[in-house]
Structure formats: C-alpha cells, structure tokens
Amino acid sequence: MRTKTLLFNGLLLSPFKSVNITEYSPGRTGDFHRHNCYQIIVGLSGMLSLESPSVERLDISPGDVGIIASGKSHSWRASTRPLCKTIQVIHDPLSSEAFGELSSIFGNPDFGWKKAVIDLKETLRIGKSIRNECSRVRTGSSGLVHGNLMNILALALRDIIEKEDVHFNDHSNILIRRSLNYIENHYRESITLDKLSANSYLSPSRFSELFRKFTELSPMRYIYNFRLKKAEMLLIYSEMSVTEVADYLGFQSVHYFSRAFKKHEGCSPTEFITKKCNCKIVQQKQYIL
C-alpha cells in the first residue's frame, strides 16, 4: 500500500485541481490509466518509472519534472531503494490568453509526455514549502502553493525550450494569440466571427481554420467555453448570485445561462456551488497515483 500521501486541502487557484506529496512503499506499481487533465510529477527522492502501452519509458529522478498530457495512457513503478517521493499536480490545460508561452507545453495535448530537469536545490525547497502548507492550511496558503506550482511550470518550460529550441513567434500563432487577447478583454460583449477575423487580418474561413488548429475548438465554441469557465470562477470565488453572474457575462437570461451551464458541467449553477464546497477533497483524491 502507499506509504504516505499528504494532500493540500486548501483552496487551489486556477488552473490547478489537485496537489499532493506522495511517498511510495518500495516497488509499488500501478496499472495503465489516463487522466482527462494534465499531470505533473516532480521527483524528490528515489525514482518513479512511467511506461506507455508502446513501451516508451520515462524515468523521474530527483529534480526531474514529468509532464503527462491529457489522455496519455501510462503505468508506473516506484523504486525499491531509496524511497520514492514525488510532488504530484493535476491541472486543467493552460490557455494562451491567460498563461502565454506556458500554454505551448501545458496546454498542448499533442506531445504525449515530456521530461524537464530543474535545479535540485530549488526542487527540494519547493517540496518543503508545499509540504508545510499541506500540513497546515493557513491564511496565504493558496497563494504560496500556487506560486510554487507556477515556479515549477516556468522552470520546466525553460529547460524544454533550451533543449528543444522551441520557438513561439510563428506568424499565424501571433495572429491567433491576438484574437485570444481580444476575447480575454471583450468576452462580456457580443463577439462575432467577422469581428475576430478582422481583428486578426484574416478571412473568416482562414481564421477559423487556424483558430481550430491552435485551440482544437471553433472560435464560437471557444468563446462559449471561456464564458462558462469564467462563470465557474465567479460562482466559487465571488459573492455574486447566479442571476448576477448570468447578467455580468452577457447571457440572454438566467434561464439560458443555467441551461448552458448544466449542459457544460452536468449540474446547475446552484448545485455546482454546493458540490464544489462539499466535495473538493474527494475530487482531488481521485487523481493520486
């Protein structure tokens, strides 16, 4: 059985869904599985070996950061000696308009998995900080945990860029990022395909083609999902009522908003608030290896 799992049960800020520090009993293994989110595994001691159905292997040692994209099937095995200890993080895909260049790795499902290497001293410092906040949630814990997790992502991205010579300045990507920035600043307004394509200096058909390639969604579906994600944040973190959230986000009516939200989330806005308050820890635990 698992030696010890220390789960952060405080409020996790977007895009993070779960974070824990796990120590494994020697030689513990896990069957093939996949997540519908992104998984980050940071090695603190020992080794955690991942394997894909096609026998690809990814070994995570102290200072290594394993990045597993949504939908990537994998099994795992913990080292027998020394004791395997990791930080494990589950997060939603990072969008370009909110997280910039980080989205090229932590929002891109095509790479399957990758490994980065960051400074071991920094890794152990981050691990100690997260452990402290997991052990005792206090005022400021959410911010400290979020800052440490973003630090891991940024250092991992830097290592991958330097090793693989990744570039972010492709012209079409710049144009689509312009439209994403426009959505970020105008999502409460009426946004049409013609307006977005004109803002990117492209025809509607060409813009739609590039936008779908970049985000895997049509422009209108992206805006629809973007507004509903904003609704989630407002329902959890603000004091606004369901009616006020619907009005703020520019939905035609609270009835239309509730129906759209339920179709997207599988529950009504009111049920969503209750569910998030009562079941947050249970939801996080399902992601622990």
Q: What is the model's pTM?
A: 0.66
Beta carbons within 8 Å of 264's beta carbon, 6+ residues apart: 225, 228
In this predicted structure, what is the pLDDT of residue 96? 67
pLDDT tens, 75-84? 999 998 889 9
Average pLDDT, integer, range 93-121: 84
Residue 171's pLDDT band (boundaries 50, 70, 90)? low
β partners of residue 51 = 57, 75
Say whether pLDDT at 32 is over 90.
yes
In this predicted structure, what is the pLDDT of residue 200? 78
Average pLDDT, integer, range 189-213: 87
CB atoms within 10 A of CB 122: 13
CA distance 63 to 56: 21
Instruction: Report the CATH number of the 4-166 domain.
Output: 2.60.120.10
Q: Which residue has the higher pLDDT, 93 or 68?
A: 68
CA distance 147 to 101: 17
Query: Residue 60 in contact with residue 74, Cβ under 8 Å?
Result: no
Residue 112's pLDDT band (boundaries 50, 70, 90)? confident
Domain regions of the chain by residue span: 4-166, 171-280
CB atoms within 10 A of CB 46: 20
The first and second tokens of residue 265, run together, are 């989330």
User: What superfamily would CATH give domain 171-280?
Assistant: Homeodomain-like (1.10.10.60)
Residue 135's pLDDT band (boundaries 50, 70, 90)? very high
Query: Residue 212 in contact with residue 218, Cβ under 8 Å?
Result: yes
pLDDT tens, 236-261? 888 889 999 999 998 889 999 999 99
Average pLDDT, integer, range 64-90: 94
Chain-centroid distance, C-alpha 78: 24
β partners of residue 56 = none
CA distance 85 to 23: 4
Query: Residue 41 in contact with residue 76, Cβ under 8 Å?
Result: no
Tokens 């440490």 correspond to what residue? 148
β partners of residue 78 = 48
CB atoms within 10 A of CB 59: 15
Strands (E), 3-149: 4-7, 16-23, 29-33, 38-45, 48-51, 57-60, 64-68, 74-78, 85-91, 113-117
Among 38-42, 111-115, 269-273, which range has the highest average pLDDT?
38-42
The pLDDT mean for the chain works out to 87
Query: H-type helices in 73-203, by residue range?
Result: 96-99, 103-106, 120-135, 141-164, 171-186, 193-199
In this predicted structure, what is the pLDDT of residue 281? 47
CA distance 15 to 201: 31
